[in-house]
Amino acid sequence: MSAHALFTAYITIVLREIRRFTRIWPQTLLPPAVTMTLYFIIFGNLIGSRIGEMGGFDYMSFIVPGLIMMAVITSSYANVVSSFFSMKFQRSVEELLVSPVPNWIILAGYVTGGMARGLGIGVIVTLLSLAFTRLQIHNLPMVVVTVFLTSALFSVGGFINALLATKFDDVSIVPTFVLTPLTYLGGVFYSIDLLPEFWQGVSMINPILYMVNGFRFGILGVSDVNPFVSLGMILSFIAVLSFIALKLLARGKGIRH
Amino acid sequence: MTNALEIEGLTKTYGSGFEALKGIDLQVAQGDFFALLGPNGAGKSTTLGIVCSLVTKSAGKVSVFGYDIDTHLSDAKLHLGVVPQEFNFNQFEKVFDIVTIQAGYYGIPLKKAAVSAEKYLKKLGLWDKRNTPARMLSGGMKRRLMIARALVHEPKLLILDEPTAGVDIELRRSMWSFLEEMNRQGTTIILTTHYLEEAEALCRNIAIIDHGRIIRNTSKRELLQQLSLETFLLDSDAALERAPELDGFSCRLDDEGVLEVDVHKRQVLNDVFIQLQQQGIKVVSMRTKANRLEELFIRMVEQNEPAAEAVTEGRK
């Protein structure tokens, strides 16, 4: 395929993904907006006002970057895993498999689709947060790069989950039992300085901690970890997971007999 | 001239250990209308699945218009259009979108894809349904949608796996004419079907596969010439109480009073009419009883049965 044909195939996948999640917006765009608004009201306003400062900022300002990141992570992951698994389930993935689209374009198309939803949700949650706090941006490039890379990383993760999943239960196991605990324990609601030393050490092996803190550094200028270490971690994870996803695709894992 | 499809020593053993293909060799010439026949589980869909990259082969070589699927998979796929046995499109997408999205996967820009989609949706009588979600279509429409989708990138080789399964006779006939027209325009067509009447009506060459082996690969004409016996159904002008005695012919009455006469290849059909006329029986209409190809097919598969079982036994 020529470069132009490859680009057309890539855009076709991306646009189809965007059309899919916008068509079912009450299932894809509305729920995170409602959930995050509740977080802002309950944790930020009601409880947060009694907590006082965290990391040198009022509690609402402290949790906003984490909540935006949490919404981006879950939406990016959910978009790819549910879309690709339902394609497998309906067998419409065969449309892609019989076509000459190379595997890396398939992966890139789905990851971009996941990022489109994840970042779209990120924008919606950011706009909602403005109703509760005044957002300052400490380092815009850091904000943009961290959120883009994190969204890409979890989109690749969702793709691998979809390839390996054989039933609908498998699609919800990782988000429920892995992603949610790691996100909640990844410093969204607190600074790890509050933890005993042992649990601080344990927290350092949670990859989501680096993403939340990298993003928080971009917005507030404070972080529990070095923001450049965060970027390095995210890039490394993207490289490893993309390699695994391409290997699984080449083997036809879960999609070819 | 390069063959449209060449298969050499193709084998497939599934993870369960089931040996679906045991070394298949097959050539389909450009412009052919080719049927791959076989009973359920014979290996037809596995063979086509490998050609279309939906199934990974265990060993052997497959090339499409000279492009080896191991080394030039993308080129091979560009020449292929696939109509699978089961519906495999997104049921929530609209008909037009399903076809244009497929074109996009082949690198065809939307503007050009829209023209091609319109052409095939119109030819297949689906243009009025272009904005209908696929789940709202009837079974026959869904089958035609899959044909339009397979043709949108103008493939030179069209593979159809049971294309008319569950389709009513009228629609089946119209799909036949469409496929014949595509073949006349130069598209090589390979189909698998359970309707042997379909293969007899459409195809020039036929391969019969059973227990993962090709047991026959020849022209339809040659295959039909092997028929030594044909049964004719004769309707007489008056109801018959019993079957007449015909010298040299086996003759009987069926439950509806229709006369069944077996005519051997070396016998002359005219002799039947002469003898009936001598007995005062007038024939007002006549037709052949069974589908000829079906008769042959059943015979061949039955003949293959003991051999195949012996092979299986030997491997246990």
Q: A83-94: per-residue pLDDT in tens?
A: 999 999 989 999
Give the one of A9, A91, A96 whose C-beta lies nearest to B107's C-beta. Answer: A9
A36 is written with which tokens? Answer: 């995050």
Q: Do residue B105 and residue A9 have CB atoms under 8 angstroms apart? A: yes
For A63-76, the pLDDT digits (tens) are 888 889 899 999 99
Tokens 């059943």, located at residue? B298
Q: What is the CATH number of the domain that holds B263?
A: 3.30.70
Q: Model confidence over A214-238: pLDDT tens digits?
A: 888 888 888 878 888 888 989 999 9
Q: How far apart are CA A161 and CA A81, in angstroms?
A: 6
Residue among A9, A141, A87 nearest B77 (CA): A9
Nearest to B44 by CA among B152, B160, B188, B189: B160
Query: Is some CB atom of chain B closer than 8 A to the CB atom of A167?
Result: no
What's the whole-model pTM score? Answer: 0.82
Question: What is the pLDDT averaged over residues A150-178?
Answer: 92
More confidently predicted of B312 and A27: A27
CB–CB of B107 and A1 under 8 A?
yes
Whether the CA torsion A52, A56, A58, A61 is positive or negative: it is negative
- For A9, the closest chain B residue by CA position comes to B105
Indicate whether B164 and B237 sit together in one domain: no
Q: Are residues B82 and B19 in the same domain?
A: yes
pLDDT at position B291, please? 57
Residues B57 and B153 in one domain: yes
- B132 in a structural domain: yes
Q: Tens place of pLDDT for every residue, chain B, 316 residues? A: 789 999 999 999 998 889 999 999 999 999 999 999 888 888 998 999 999 989 999 999 999 999 999 999 999 999 999 999 889 999 999 999 999 999 999 999 999 999 999 999 999 989 999 999 999 998 889 999 999 999 999 999 999 998 887 777 778 888 888 999 999 999 999 998 877 778 888 899 989 888 899 988 888 877 777 666 778 888 888 888 888 888 888 888 887 778 888 888 778 889 999 999 888 888 898 887 755 666 667 667 766 654 444 333 333 3
**Confidence at residue B122, expressed as pLDDT on a 0 to 100 scale:** 93
Name the residue among A8, A19, A97 with its Cβ closest to that of B54: A97
- Contact (CB<8Å) B107/A2: yes
The arithmetic mean of pLDDT across residues A11-33, rounded, is 93
Per-residue exposure over A117-138, b if at least 16 CB sit within 10 Å of its own CB, e if not: bbbbbbebbbebbeebbeeeee
B214 and B283 share a domain? no
- DSSP line for B143-210: HHHHHHHHHTT--SEEEEESTTTT--HHHHHHHHHHHHHHHHTT-EEEEE-S-HHHHHHH-SEEEEEE
B101 touches chain A (CB under 8 A): yes
Out of B224, B254, B270, a domain closes at B224
* Domain total of chain B: 2
**B13 and B79 part of one domain:** yes
Chain B residues with CB-CB distance to A97 below 8 A = 52-54
Query: What is the CA angle B300-B306-B307, rounded to 5?
Result: 85
List, in sequence order, every residue forming a beta bridge with B33; answer none if it has no partner.
B189
| Residue B252 to residues B275, B277, B295, Cα–Cα distance (Å) | 14, 17, 19
Would residue B302 count as lying in a domain? no
Range of the domain at B239: 228-292
The answer to whether residue B91 neighbours chain A at the CB level (below 8 Å) is yes
The reply to whether residue B107 touches residue A6, judged by beta carbons under 8 angstroms, is yes
What's the pLDDT score for residue B313?
39
Determine the pLDDT at residue B193. 82
State the pLDDT confidence band at A179, using cuts at 50, 70 and 90.
Answer: confident
3-state SS, A26-89, equals HHHCHHHHHHHHHHHHHHHHHHHHHHCEECCEEHHHHHHHHHHHHHHHHHHHHHHHHHHHHHHH
Asked if the interface predicted TM-score (ipTM) of this complex is over 0.90, the answer is no
Is 70 exceeded by the pLDDT of residue A193? yes
**What CA–CA distance (Å, rounded) separates B190 from A34?**
54
Task: Enumerate the residues of chain B whose CB falls inside 8 A of the CB of residue A2.
Answer: 107
- Residue B34: enclosing H or E segment and its boundaries? strand B33-37
Q: B69 and B205: one domain?
A: yes
- Do B278 and B260 have their domain in common? yes
> What pLDDT sits at residue A212?
85
pLDDT in the model for residue A114: 96
Are B88 and A92 an interchain contact pair (Cβ–Cβ within 8 Å)? yes
Token output for B99: 């076809």
Residue owning tokens 């097959």: B26
pLDDT over 70 (residue A117): yes
pLDDT of A12 over the 90 cut: yes
Closest to A162 measured CA to CA, from A245, A75, A71: A245
pLDDT of amino acid B305: 59
Statement to judge: residues B132 and B277 lie in one domain: no
Please, which residues have CB within 8 angstroms of residue A191's CB and are 6 or more apart in sequence?
A54, A55, A62, A224
- Report how far residue B45's alpha carbon sits from residue B51's, in angstroms, rounded to the nearest whole number: 10
Q: Give the burial string for A4-38 (b: 16+ CB within 10 Å, else e).
A: ebbebbbebbbbbbbebbeeeeeebbebbeeebbe
Domain borders along chain A are 3-251
CATH value at residue B64: 3.40.50.300
